[in-house]
Structure 1
Amino acid sequence: MNFHKPLNSNVSSGPKLLCASFNQDQECFAIGHEHGFMVYNTDPLERRVKREFVDGGIGLVQMLHRTNYLALVGGGRTPKYPQNTVIIWDDLKNMAAISLDFYLPVLSVLLSRTRIVVCLKTKIYVYTFSSPPVRLSVYETSDNPQGICALQNNILVFPGFTEGHIQIVDLSPQGQERSLVSIVRAHKSKIKCLAISHDGSLIASASETGTIIRIHVSSNTALFHEFRRGIDRAEIHSLSFSPNSNRLALLSDKDTLHVFDTSPLSGSSNRRHILSKVPLLPSYFSGEWSFVSSRVSDKRIGKGILGWASTDCIAIIWPVEALIEKYVIREKRDLPSHKKIPSSSIKPGNNSDVGNLNETSSDQWELVRDSWRSFDDV
């Protein structure tokens, strides 16, 4: 069974992308396709590396910062490597440096300068980044067919064994020595999406319900923020912290992009309900909503992948359409109409994903679709 088929297999023409992922600081991203992989600089957008293979496709690719090492897993109609094998590719030498074999297909791979993390359907494996690699630990998870996990600054997070729980592991040498593992009951339903701030201090999570986003402090598991996306059920496609960790972007199947202020509550600019200070009302009225939100094109197909080009610029990769878009957060002002996707295009009465007119807001910010480009060089 092919676990890494073309994401745009239903599209009649155009490039056939199999995967896309940002590197650790989101300054670069890599895409895999039927004949190899490519690496791009995020801002300015330019191709840095292009590798083509005559013997198969790449279904998973993960960069290690801006180094010459990438993790590869085969995919597509003719996978270059078995889909239960992780290859650490040395692009300087144009060859495989490390190979790890497993008994089930690999769903995701994460890299740090000292660790290799491999996610299977119900297990997480952690190895040293060395030749040969040494297996350090194995963690059990609940059924995780999408390979949901995140790694930043030696903090690893993934779904716990119990539904709705997340497990936080300190992969630093000190953490490994003390076997530091924390379990957080983040949600009542199954975990759908995870993200970690760049310094590893904050963990954002969403469940399959998709209405509430919770942020916990990784060091002590304390609840730091609770955000409301909307009142209707939604599938969260992607979560991503800004480079300074003061903002969190969210993309859902409601075709909306939300940005939350993750600074301390006293300085938060997130919207609140006009009745938020009235006591004894349901938690809905006291919740925080995104400080800016906008509809992305309703013609988009598949799931977008979020990254940040800067603290004010969000990049979205659409693998199915082989397209990247950039949205800029800015104070409202007169702008060319062709670049605006106004928040008013989402009517409060028929789409609850951005809340309703009863919410208080300074109405100060907007998201502007600033640029876009297709990967027509695949």
Structure 2
Amino acid sequence: MDSQVEADGGGPEMLPGFICASFNQDTTSLSVGTKTGYRLFSVTSVDKLDCIHEGVECSDVSIVERLFSSSLVVVVSQSVPRRMNVYHFKKGTEICNYSYTNNILSVRLNRQRLVVCLEESIYIHNIKDMKLLKTLLNTPTNPSGLCALSVNHGNSFLAYPGSATIGEIAVYDANNLSTVTLIQAHASPLAALTFNGSGTKLASASEKGTVIRVFDIPEGHRLFEFRRGMKRYVSISSLSFSADAQFLCASSNTETVHIFKLEQHSPSQEEASPTWSAYVGKMFTAASTYLPAQVSDMMHQDRAFATVRLNMFGLKNICALATIQKLPRLLVASSDGHLYIYNVDPQDGGECIMVQKHRLFDGTEEQVEHKDEETPAEVSNQVAGQSYAATVALPSSQPPSSTLLGYSEEGGAQKGDVIPEHEFAEGPVCLDDENEFPPVSN
């Protein structure tokens, strides 16, 4: 669910101050790193992009990660790439900082763990007090810092490359500090990894970028296989599940974002309405039993359910699926300095329509004509128990909120202190600011 993109710098369309961007774990906010600091935006409305906070504690921010809707934010600067700073941004205080033996390439966090990934090692911290729990040394060379951490409060599965030469995924239990499984996912090295919200599915893509696979966790069995394209290899920049894990989106350095639907095809439906395509499909299925494995795999791969055509090519971006103002949306944050919002038809798919385009640096919006905004902006995008596909039929009443503990208004950790015990609820830890965002549903 959580993704990050880094700008390569330069280029006539590249915004000079833009360095990186990432969505938080439930896609309620967007974090952007810049030359002068970082910015946190609320993405719970289509027509309005609110800047929640602008941090200037350090410059040249290459990593910025926010923990759900809490006031905890992790920042790494290009000028001090081996040091991680953890801030309580509402209080303007530093909770702690840690220095590592090499450059920090990525940071992932959930309500139990904070994971720091270096090129050949991974550090696992207890997020409650930031104590180091485990160091995974001599991990396969991972120059991009590729890793994923599940965000469900009941588990903390960590996925990272198990090999530098093939697409092997190592899955580690960051709660119990034990190895779970190794998944032989792709023939070529990995390029993207992401868990669904409950930590029961893991999606992956290789450096070739032509095939995206989904595995069940913790067993590691292959569930789905999607073909992004055959004409060319691409660089996959992000993968992201919808909250109900019925859809998976993938963005790359091309102009197309693909949305795949995770559904098992029922043979009974094909028999009830026989068609020429169904007949040919059955012939392929029968033939695949004796054809080479690569050809057989291609026959069983599903194409994109929906697509988005971006007005850019070659720029890095990240995508995420969210329910905003009761409707399914695709969000694309691009290194051109914009956030693009598209409508998604969860029933028929097809080409998605852009409904809004926001600039990330001057607070102005570029209006896009659209006809679906009959829902008031105050309606929450977090609807407990509703699937992504079912949100089009939601009632207009706002769901009730509940009291959640966060990095509290009555104190907050000071520099060098552990995070106070009263900031955590018994059982699953919920670090959410009650009034800033709706409660997180897991």
Normalised to the residue count of structure 2, the TM-score between the two structures is 0.69
C-alpha contact (below 8 Å) 2:120/2:140 kept by paired residues: yes
- Report the CA distance shift for 1:57/1:288 in structure 2 as closer, same or farther (over 3 A): same
Query: Aligned partners of 2:124 and 2:44: how far apart in 1?
Result: 32
Aligned: 1:212 with 2:226: no
* 1:194 match: 193
The structure with more strand, counted as a fraction of residues: 1
Aligned: 1:157 with 2:159: yes
* 1:318 match: 334
| Residues 90-125 of structure 1: CA deviation (Å, up to 9, x unaligned) | 113212212111111101001112211001112211
* 1:342 match: none
Query: Aligned partners of 1:24 and 1:207: how far apart in 2?
Result: 23
Structure 1: runs of 5+ lacking an equivalent: 333-362
C-alpha contact (below 8 Å) 1:7/1:16 kept by paired residues: no
1:365 to 350, 354, 362: 350
How far apart are 1:13 and its partner, in Å? 7.9
1:329 to 317, 341, 344: 344
Aligned: 1:40 with 2:53: no
Query: Aligned partners of 1:13 and 1:156: how far apart in 2?
Result: 33
C-alpha contact (below 8 Å) 1:276/1:286 kept by paired residues: no
Aligned: 1:253 with 2:267: no
C-alpha contact (below 8 Å) 2:241/2:249 kept by paired residues: yes
C-alpha contact (below 8 Å) 2:42/2:52 kept by paired residues: no
Aligned: 1:58 with 2:61: yes
Residue 276 of structure 1 aligns to a residue whose secondary structure is: helix
Query: Aligned partners of 1:13 and 1:306: how far apart in 2?
Result: 18
Aligned: 1:236 with 2:247: no
Residue 260 of structure 1 aligns to a residue whose secondary structure is: strand
* 2:70 match: 67
* 2:263 match: 263
| Residues 235-262 of structure 1: CA deviation (Å, up to 9, x unaligned) | 2121110111100001123321111111
* 1:24 match: 25
Pairs aligned (count)? 331
- Report the CA distance shift for 1:181/1:303 in structure 2 as closer, same or farther (over 3 A): same
Residue 204 of structure 1 aligns to a residue whose secondary structure is: strand
C-alpha contact (below 8 Å) 1:9/1:16 kept by paired residues: no
Alignment of 1:140-155 (within 5 A): 140-152=138-150, 153=152, 154-155=156-157
* 1:286 match: 300
- Report the CA distance shift for 1:207/1:91 in structure 2 as closer, same or farther (over 3 A): same
Normalised to the residue count of structure 1, the TM-score between the two structures is 0.80
* 1:181 match: 180
**Higher RCO structure (Cα 8 Å, ≥6 apart):** 2
Residue 316 of structure 1 aligns to a residue whose secondary structure is: strand
Counterpart of 1:242, as a letter, is S
How far apart are 1:295 and its partner, in Å? 2.3
Give aligned-pair identity as a percent: 25
Higher radius of gyration, 1 or 2:
2
Residue 299 of structure 2 aligns to a residue whose secondary structure is: helix
Counterpart of 1:292, as a letter, is A
Query: Aligned partners of 1:54 and 1:21: how far apart in 2?
Result: 19
- Aligned CA RMSD, in angstroms, stands at 2.6
| Residues 118-160 of structure 1: CA deviation (Å, up to 9, x unaligned) | 0111221111114452232315432211111111221211111
Query: Aligned partners of 2:173 and 2:62: how far apart in 1?
Result: 28
| Residues 326-358 of structure 1: CA deviation (Å, up to 9, x unaligned) | 1211279xxxxxxxxxxxxxxxxxxxxxxxxxx
Structure 2: runs of 5+ lacking an equivalent: 270-276, 289-294, 364-442
The range that moved more, 239-248 or 118-127, is 118-127
Query: Aligned partners of 2:361 and 2:282: how far apart in 1?
Result: 52
Residue 229 of structure 2 aligns to a residue whose secondary structure is: coil
Counterpart of 2:337, as a letter, is A
Residue 231 of structure 1 aligns to a residue whose secondary structure is: coil
- Report the CA distance shift for 1:235/1:181 in structure 2 as closer, same or farther (over 3 A): same
Query: Aligned partners of 1:260 and 1:73: how far apart in 2?
Result: 33
Aligned: 1:305 with 2:318: yes
How far apart are 1:15 and its partner, in Å? 5.0
- Report the CA distance shift for 1:55/1:21 in structure 2 as closer, same or farther (over 3 A): closer
Residue 288 of structure 1 aligns to a residue whose secondary structure is: coil
How far apart are 1:294 and its partner, in Å? 3.6
